[in-house]
C-alpha cells in the first residue's frame, strides 16, 4: 500500500510526531487551504518552490512545484498515469477517499482512465470542438452574452452593485453546454447544484463530510445522465450524444457497456466544463475590472482581448492541482519515486515559476506566454477552445457595454485548493 494512502487524512492531524521542517510544511499547506490562502495562494507557492521542485508532502505523496517538472509529468503519459481503477484496487484498500461512492463514480470517467481505454474513449468523442464546431457555436455564445449582460445592466441600474457569479459566470457555461448537448434549460439549475456538490471529491484532501455531499452529487448526476442517454436511445437526433451513440454501437457490441460509457462521457463533459469555465469568467473580471486604466486600454485595443484571456488563464487557472501516479520506479526533478507513488502537480505554482515567467506575480496582459492551465499531454483539455470562446466573447461584450466596470469588494473563494471556485464577485459601474 502506498504511503500516501496510509496517511491520507487531514494535514493537521499529521503534525504530531514530525520534525520542525515537516511541521512548517504542514503549516504552509494549512495556510494554503485557509480563506486568505485561497484569496492569494501565490506567495505560498513561492514558499513551496523554495523547498524544491519536488516536495515530499506530509501524507507521503510528492508536491511538484516548478514549471518544468509539472510539464514533464503531464506530457509523459507512459510513466505518469492518472490514478485509475487498477491503481485504486492495488492501493486503495481501507481508504475512505478511494472507496467513497463519488470517487468510485469518477474513476470510470475520461480523466481517470489510462491508455488504451482512455485513447478509445477520447477517440469516440471525435473532434468535438474543432474550428467548424466552434464557429457554429459562436452566434449562440455571443447572443447569450448579450442576454446575460442585459440582466447585469438592469441589476446595476436598480441596485448599483451586482454579484457577477450567479448572474453571468455561472449562467454562460451551463447555457452553452446545454445548447450544445441538448439539455433543457429547466434542468440547468439542478445540474449546477449537483456538480458543485460533487466537485470536492476531486479536491487535494477531501474531508469525510465533503465526500458525503459529493456522493449526493454523484447519485444525482448518475440518475440524470442515465435517463438522458435512455432518452437519446428512444429519440436519437443530430446532437453530440446521439452521434457518440452511433459510434459506440459500431465499436462496442455490448449495448449495456456502450450506454454506460455514453453516460460517463456525457456526465464527465458536464463536470469538466461548468465550474472550470465559471471560475475562469469570474477570475477574468476580478483581475481585469479592478484596474480602470487597463480596462480603458483594452476597450481601445480589442485585438488584445485574446492576450488578456491567456494571461488570466496563466495567472489564476481554474484547476490549481492535478494528480498522477508513477507507472514504474522513476526519477522526477532528481527525486526517486516508487511505482504507484502519487504526485500532485501544482499547476497554479508552475504558472508562477520565475524561471519561466519574469516577474510572475505581475498580471501583465502583454506577456504572450504559454501556460499549463489546460494541462498538456494525453489528458489535454478537450474543451479548451470552447473555454476560450466563452471568455473572449464575454470580455468583448463587457468592454463594449460597461466602460466603467469595477470590482466592488474582494471576491470570495470557496475553501478549495485544487478546483478554484468564486462564490461571490461584487461588481459596480460608476
Q: Determine if 387 is a binding residue for ligand HEM (CB under 6 A).
A: yes
- 26 or 267: CB nearest ligand HEM: 267
For residue 317, state whether it binds ligand HEM (rule: CB under 6 A).
yes
Report, in Å, the least distance between residue 379 CB and ligand HEM: 3
30 belongs to the binding site for ligand HEM (CB under 6 A): no
204 binds ligand HEM (CB under 6 A): no
Non-local (6+) Cβ contacts of 72 within 8 A are 332
With a CB cutoff of 8 Å and minimum separation 6, the contacts of 283 are 312, 315, 316, 318, 420, 422
- For the chain, percent helix, then strand, then coil, each to nearest 5? 60, 10, 30
3-state SS class at 280:
helix
Interaction between residue 322 and ligand HEM (CB under 6 A): yes
Task: Tell me the HSE value of 83 on the side-chain side, using a 13 A CA sphere.
Answer: 25
Residue 319 interacts with ligand HEM (CB under 6 A): yes or no: yes
Q: Which is nearer to ligand HEM, 245 or 318 (CB)?
A: 318
Q: Which helix (H) or strand (E) holds 247?
A: helix 240-251
Using the contact rule CB under 6 A, the part of the chain among 14-22, 199-207, 256-264, 318-326 near ligand HEM is 318-326
Q: Please, which residues have CB within 8 angstroms of residue 14's CB and are 6 or more apart in sequence?
A: 7, 26, 58, 59
Q: Does 393 interact with ligand HEM (rule: CB under 6 A)? A: no
Alpha-carbon distance values, 270 to 119, 147, 265, 275, 308 (Å): 20, 22, 9, 9, 26
Does residue 102 touch ligand HEM according to CB under 6 A?
no
Size of the site for ligand HEM (CB under 6 A): 25
CA distance 98 to 81: 16
Q: Which is nearer to ligand HEM, 213 or 373 (CB)?
A: 373
* 3-state class (DSSP) for residue 332: strand
Q: Which is nearer to ligand HEM, 14 or 390 (CB)?
A: 390
Q: Which stretch binds ligand HEM (CB under 6 A): 4-12, 86-94, 361-369, 376-384?
A: 376-384
Does 149 sit near ligand HEM (CB under 6 A)? no
C-alpha cell at 222: 448518475
Q: Tell whether residue 343 is a contact of ligand HEM (CB under 6 A).
A: no
Among 25-33, 41-49, 276-284, 354-362, the segment contacting ligand HEM (CB under 6 A): 276-284
Residue whose C-alpha cell is 526517486: 336
- Least spacing, CB of residue 247 vs ligand HEM, in Å: 16
CA dist 285 → 45, 209, 423 (Å): 23, 32, 14
Candidate list 110, 172, 194, 262; residue touching ligand HEM; CB under 6 A:
110
Residue 386 touches ligand HEM, criterion: CB under 6 A: yes
- Site track for ligand HEM across 394-423, x = CB under 6 A: ------------------------------
C-alpha grid cell, residue 151: 440582466
Of 285, 277, 280, which is closest to residue 152 (Cα–Cα)? 285
Task: With contacts defined by CB under 6 A, name the span among 31-39, 42-50, 247-255, 379-387 that binds ligand HEM.
Answer: 379-387
The residues binding ligand HEM (CB under 6 A) are: 74, 110-111, 122, 177, 268-269, 272-273, 276-277, 280, 317-319, 322, 373-375, 379, 381-383, 386-387
Amino acid at each position: 500500500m502506498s504511503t500516501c494512502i496510509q496517511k491520507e487524512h487531514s494535514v493537521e492531524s499529521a503534525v504530531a510526531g514530525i520534525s520542525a521542517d515537516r511541521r512548517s510544511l504542514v503549516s504552509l499547506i494549512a495556510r494554503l487551504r485557509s480563506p486568505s490562502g485561497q484569496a492569494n495562494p501565490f506567495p505560498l507557492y513561492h514558499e513551496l518552490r523554495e523547498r524544491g521542485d519536488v516536495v515530499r508532502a506530509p501524507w507521503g505523496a510528492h508536491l511538484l512545484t516548478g514549471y518544468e517538472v509539472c510539464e514533464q509529468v503531464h506530457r509523459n503519459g507512459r510513466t505518469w498515469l492518472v490514478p485509475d481503477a487498477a491503481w485504486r484496487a492495488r492501493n486503495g484498500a481501507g481508504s475512505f477517499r478511494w472507496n467513497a461512492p463519488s470517487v468510485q463514480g469518477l474513476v470510470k470517467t475520461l480523466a481517470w482512465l489510462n491508455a488504451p481505454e482512455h485513447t478509445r474513449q477520447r477517440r469516440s468523442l471525435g473532434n468535438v470542438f474543432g474550428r467548424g464546431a466552434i464557429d457554429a457555436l459562436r452566434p449562440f455564445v455571443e447572443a447569450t452574452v448579450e442576454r446575460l449582460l442585459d440582466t447585469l445592466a438592469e441589476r446595476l441600474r436598480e441596485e448599483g452593485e451586482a454579484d457577477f457569479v450567479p448572474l453571468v459566470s455561472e449562467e454562460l457555461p451551463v447555457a452553452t453546454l446545454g445548447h450544445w448537448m441538448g439539455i433543457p434549460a429547466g434542468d440547468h439549475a439542478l445540474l449546477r447544484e449537483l456538480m458543485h456538490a460533487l466537485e470536492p471529491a476531486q479536491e487535494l484532501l477531501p474531508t469525510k463530510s465533503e465526500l458525503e455531499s459529493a456522493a449526493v452529487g454523484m447519485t444525482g448526476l448518475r440518475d440524470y445522465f442515465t435517463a438522458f442517454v435512455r432518452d437519446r436511445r428512444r429519440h436519437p437526433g443530430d446532437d453530440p450524444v446521439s452521434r457518440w451513440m452511433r459510434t459506440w454501437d459500431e465499436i462496442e457490441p455490448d449495448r449495456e457497456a456502450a450506454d454506460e460509457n455514453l453516460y460517463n462521457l456525457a456526465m464527465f463533459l458536464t463536470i469538466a466544463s461548468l465550474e472550470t469555465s465559471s471560475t475562469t469568467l469570474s477570475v477574468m473580471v476580478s483581475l481585469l475590472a479592478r484596474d480602470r486604466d487597463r480596462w480603458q486600454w483594452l476597450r481601445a485595443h480589442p485585438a488584445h482581448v485574446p492576450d488578456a484571456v491567456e494571461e488570466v488563464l496563466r495567472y489564476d487557472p481554474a484547476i490549481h492541482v492535478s494528480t498522477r501516479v508513477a507507472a514504474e520506479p522513476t526519477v522526477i526533478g532528481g527525486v526517486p519515486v516508487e511505482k504507484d507513488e502519487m504526485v500532485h502537480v501544482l499547476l497554479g505554482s508552475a504558472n508562477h515559476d520565475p524561471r519561466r515567467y519574469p516577474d510572475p506575480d505581475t498580471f501583465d496582459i502583454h506577456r504572450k506566454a504559454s501556460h499549463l492551465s489546460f494541462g498538456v499531454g494525453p489528458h489535454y483539455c478537450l474543451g479548451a477552445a470552447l473555454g476560450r470562446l466563452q471568455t473572449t466573447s464575454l470580455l468583448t461584450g463587457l468592454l463594449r457595454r460597461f466602460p466603467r466596470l469595477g470590482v466592488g469588494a474582494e471576491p470570495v473563494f470557496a475553501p478549495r485548493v485544487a478546483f478554484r471556485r468564486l462564490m461571490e464577485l461584487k461588481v459596480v459601474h460608476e
